[in-house]
Structure 1
Amino acid sequence: MLFNSFEFVVFFVIVFFIYYKSYNNLRFQNALLLVSSYVFYGWWDWRFLSLIIISSFSDYFIGRAIDLNNDKKQRKRLLVLSLLVNLGILGFFKYYNFFTESFTDFISLFGFESNPALLNIVLPVGISFYTFQTMSYTIDIYRGKMKSTDNLLEFMTFVSFFPQLVAGPIERASHLLPQFGKKREFDLFEFKEGAKQALWGLFKKIVIADNCAFYANQIFENSESYPGSVLVIGVVLFAFQIYGDFSGYSDIAIGISRMMGIDLMQNFKSPYLAENIQDFWRRWHISLSTWFRDYVYIPLGGSKVDSSIRRSMNIIITFTVSGFWHGANWTFIIWGFLHSLFYFIQTGYSKNMKSVKILPSKLVQIFNVLITFIAVTFAWIFFRAESFNHAMDYIFEITSSSIIENPVGYLKLMGSSVKPYVIILSLIYLSIFEINNRDAKYSFQVGHFKAPMRILVYLSLIILIIFFRATDGTIDFIYFQF
């Protein structure tokens, strides 16, 4: 069930009405959310509900056992059991064929032949998100950062809460879980603010992401037919497609959760206005980047290790693993590794530039934002490409003399009903709010505008969504595949 579908609108209206009709019965509210979340997820494939239920039950009981056990060895064994269950489920469904094929390719280098038993495995939607969410719960209990809950219903609702179930934000139990133990009554202010945030998310998804997708998909899927100038446009459009798509999902999830009295963490904060790669990851998919910081980078020693080589390896490992989290393909691993290289390059550049004061600080800031955007966009080539060879061919064409060819004729031949001016105007519209709310908690805030201007902004978003939505039908959110 997609947020931008008629089915979801009907589903949400029904759930919302019953939800607040039962405001004086917390247990019923949570049970309603749990059942609704299972319906929402089962809309894709009800068979995979068993994985969520297994993950929920195992981590609930393992979390309780860790919390009630004082023996360090026993606590560690229980934590390992939790990790094995979650990573085992994730590893089998997402990485089995990748590891099997990679091992076969490796041994073939030494003259050995193998006929691997590849499986036709369907990747469950959102599996990477809810497994990481439940793992952080047992890890935090093991570390003594939180106590386990004795309420199974609240825990299962926390794991499966439908707004953020399939594409995040990846919530921490310490933030989200206690909210299911508190009374939630209708709040008109929160409802209106949540609706505005969801509207902004729909605009980013339907107007920006889906319109950019038409050109980006055609260009990437037929990259051998286009010159470098068109390929540059393709990857820039993909950069805005994936941002509008993923941040749009997060905005809708945060918005509808807020309408229901639940606060979700911020997941994006104007990432394309970042001044370096480290700043980019403080602004892009914040729930995932902080997850890897707390559960991978810091346990490896983080930046506190004495050796600069060890510190550099910690950074490389963290970025590379985060790339691998996105998918079972070497292109994702290279994408993550590239970000670690960009991190080192920009760190060295920043240190050297501190002593150079030739340009005004504002110009330096703009230059840094531009360089960071170019680096991030270049890395998106590997993220979007079907294979390593596809990515390299794409890059070679960009660096060839064909980059100076006029791309207009090629774009016209694509025959899209999507008008380029719609994309340009919507990106200008996006940029105004991104710059205005660069460091705000919520990416869509117009409270400082006068009432007529605020109304005009809301109406313009609705009009843009209705009249300038992509005409190729409802398009899935990109991060559903992860």
Structure 2
Amino acid sequence: MLFNSFEFLYFLPLIIIGFYILPQKVRWLWLLIGSYYFYMVYEPALVLLLVASTLVDYFCALKIYSAKTQQIKKIFAGTSIAVNVGILIAFKYLFFFSASLASILAYFGIVIPIDEAEQSYHISQILLPVGISFYTFQTMSYTIDVYRGRIKPEKHLGVFALYVAYFPQLVAGPIERASRLLPQLKKKVAINLKNIEQGLIMMAWGFFLKIVVADRLGIYVDEAFANPESPHGFSLILGAFLFCFQIYYDFSAYTTIAIGIAKVLGVDLIQNFNRPIFFTSSADFWKRWHISLMQWMRDYVYRPLVVNLKLKRVPAVLIVFFVVGLWHGANWTFVVWSMLNALLLIAEVSTNTFRSRLFKKLQIPKKIISFLGWFFVFCYLTITLVFFRSSSITTALVYLENMCNLGSLHINILNNYLELFLCLIFIGIVQLIHYYKGNNKVYELVLEQPKHYKWIAYFGYIIIIVLFGINRQSSFIYFQF
């Protein structure tokens, strides 16, 4: 079920009203039923994978906690990881790995009839379960934390199932830790008008980001990337630039709505963004972008590689970003995107001392250095996102090549200067608000105002949505991951 769908407009009020009407002891069941229904709207049969992942991790965690020896703990922890990774491979990467292996073998003259196998077994037709990358990572972190002794296992199967399937963040995150979310799902929640008001405003802001801004940018981006061979380089540059903001606002919109819904229900979800466009370096950007995923990678991939396996920092970073790329999708374009970012991060950290000495010797003002550094990293990130957005590496290279055709100043590929102007204006407005209020305190813009100004803001929001909203109910970009 899409947040920006008409079905959700009926679903959410029913869930909220039922939650506060029902007794505390059965609220978990109400939310669990609602969460499973929310997920089953996409493809009912695929909910079985969600159930399987839930049951495996629930029982593995209990066995880990009660195990008498370290070896038994490792067996059940390994079982949990193997099942979750196996689900990911089977339903997300099977055809990708098969096709990649066939290509490698073909290079050495060994031909595998992958096309015939695909037709026989319908490999490429296997449905990709929505949100599979999010909930498998969330359940794996739970089992690993129990194995590490950081948390105790949840004995209530229903509450644990709700932790895995909690509908606000089930499909596209943020990826929550059991130590944060489980206690909140079990606590007694009373009606708190302040929290409800804050949550509703955050939801409204998320819908604005999605319906008014991200979807508007997407129209231009779709047109630009549909024609990578365009001779108008500036239009392709603008397309890449707008995609940088589209993917940010689209993903930020989802998590903002999710945070708002959870807030109304008395739960605080982790902030997934911290003004990422206002980074000071590549390393700083990755601390601000998709925070829940990058923290997951830090705790469950990077640190085990460095601490347990004694791997050097550079290969560990490369492995982490390779996993990040694959996590985003079964396409080498995502891997190229992530590895290019890894190379920049490594180069930045490796040359930090040298650059500091050089800039000090040249006596260049710090503000100029900061701006030039920001501008370079932003342009680099924008270029790498061309691979993220393209259907293949070849298409991305064609797009990048034609970005260099600067003989024409033509950028208005939609033949609508008003829409292009609105795109830039809305980007400026959003960035200005994020600069002063961040991603998590936007509600202060309304709540800090006198009562009559609040109502003006509410009516103004409705007018903006009606006048400038893009009515195409497009899914969120990160739904495919």
Shorter-chain TM-score bucket reads: over 0.9
Match of 1:171 in 2: 176
The 1-side partners of 2:447 and 2:130 are apart by 39
The 1-side partners of 2:291 and 2:139 are apart by 17
8 Å CA contact 2:198–2:443 kept in 1: the answer is: no
Match of 2:223 in 1: 218
Which residue identity is paired with 2:177?
R
Match of 2:83 in 1: 85
C-alpha displacement of 1:459? 4.3
Match of 2:413 in 1: 410
Which residue identity is paired with 1:47?
A
8 Å CA contact 2:214–2:245 kept in 1: the answer is: yes
Match of 2:21 in 1: 21
SS at match of 1:354: helix
SS at match of 1:301: helix
Q: Would the alpha carbon gap of residues 343 and 461 (structure 1) be closer, same or farther in structure 2, given more than 3 Å must change? A: farther
1:88-123 Cα offsets, whole Å, 9 max, x none, are: 111100000001001111111111111132212110
Which residue identity is paired with 1:477?
F
Matched, 1:320 2:325: no
The range that moved more, 340-349 or 284-293, is: 340-349
SS at match of 1:252: helix
C-alpha displacement of 1:444? 5.0
8 Å CA contact 2:77–2:147 kept in 1: the answer is: yes
1:67-91 Cα offsets, whole Å, 9 max, x none, are: 1112100100101110111111111
Select 1:39's aligned residue among 37, 40, 63.
Answer: 37
1:448-468 Cα offsets, whole Å, 9 max, x none, are: 854366655554443322211
C-alpha displacement of 1:303? 11
Which residue identity is paired with 1:474?
Q
SS at match of 1:225: coil
Select 1:199's aligned residue among 181, 186, 204.
Answer: 204
8 Å CA contact 1:38–1:49 kept in 2: the answer is: yes
The 2-side partners of 1:158 and 1:409 are apart by 47
8 Å CA contact 1:200–1:461 kept in 2: the answer is: no
C-alpha displacement of 1:350? 3.7
SS at match of 1:213: helix
Match of 1:148 in 2: 153
Match of 1:187 in 2: 192
C-alpha displacement of 1:388? 0.5
The 2-side partners of 1:217 and 1:131 are apart by 30
Select 2:267's aligned residue among 237, 262, 268.
Answer: 262
The 2-side partners of 1:360 and 1:142 are apart by 50
The 1-side partners of 2:336 and 2:150 are apart by 34
Which residue identity is paired with 1:313?
P
Q: Would the alpha carbon gap of residues 447 and 408 (structure 1) be closer, same or farther in structure 2, given more than 3 Å must change? A: closer
Matched, 1:470 2:475: no
1:257-406 superposed matches below 5 A: 257-301=262-306, 310-355=312-357, 356-357=359-360, 358-399=363-404, 402-406=405-409
> Percent of counterpart pairs with the same letter?
38
SS at match of 2:163: helix
The 1-side partners of 2:407 and 2:461 are apart by 36
SS at match of 2:354: helix
SS at match of 2:174: coil
8 Å CA contact 1:226–1:410 kept in 2: the answer is: no
Match of 2:143 in 1: 138
| Alignment: residue pair count | 470
1:326-366 Cα offsets, whole Å, 9 max, x none, are: 00111111111011111023224543343324344334333
C-alpha displacement of 1:428? 1.3
8 Å CA contact 1:281–1:289 kept in 2: the answer is: yes
1:403-482 superposed matches below 5 A: 403-412=406-415, 419-438=419-438, 441-442=440-441, 444-446=443-445, 450-451=449-450, 456-471=456-471, 473-482=472-481
Match of 1:63 in 2: 61
Match of 1:9 in 2: 9
Which residue identity is paired with 1:272?
I
C-alpha displacement of 1:408? 3.6
The 1-side partners of 2:457 and 2:348 are apart by 38
C-alpha displacement of 1:405? 1.6
1:393-439 Cα offsets, whole Å, 9 max, x none, are: 1111123xx22421245341xx69x711221221111011111134x
Q: TM-score, normalized by length of structure 1?
A: 0.93
8 Å CA contact 1:201–1:252 kept in 2: the answer is: yes
C-alpha displacement of 1:304? 11
The 2-side partners of 1:212 and 1:303 are apart by 44
C-alpha displacement of 1:163? 0.5
SS at match of 2:210: helix
The 2-side partners of 1:314 and 1:436 are apart by 36
The 1-side partners of 2:284 and 2:411 are apart by 34
C-alpha displacement of 1:447? 6.3
Which residue identity is paired with 1:3?
F
1:192-233 Cα offsets, whole Å, 9 max, x none, are: 111111111111111111000001011101121342111101
8 Å CA contact 2:223–2:413 kept in 1: the answer is: no
SS at match of 1:44: coil
8 Å CA contact 1:219–1:226 kept in 2: the answer is: no
Q: Would the alpha carbon gap of residues 344 and 445 (structure 1) be closer, same or farther in structure 2, given more than 3 Å must change? A: farther
The 1-side partners of 2:376 and 2:463 are apart by 34
SS at match of 1:321: helix
Q: Would the alpha carbon gap of residues 409 and 237 (structure 1) be closer, same or farther in structure 2, given more than 3 Å must change? A: closer
The 2-side partners of 1:100 and 1:268 are apart by 35
8 Å CA contact 1:446–1:454 kept in 2: the answer is: no
Q: Which runs of 5+ in 1 are unaligned?
A: none
Select 2:108's aligned residue among 86, 107, 110.
Answer: 110
Which residue identity is paired with 2:101?
F
Q: TM-score, normalized by length of structure 2?
A: 0.93
Which residue identity is paired with 2:6?
F
8 Å CA contact 1:246–1:478 kept in 2: the answer is: yes
The range that moved more, 197-206 or 248-257, is: 197-206
The 2-side partners of 1:476 and 1:424 are apart by 22
8 Å CA contact 1:209–1:240 kept in 2: the answer is: yes
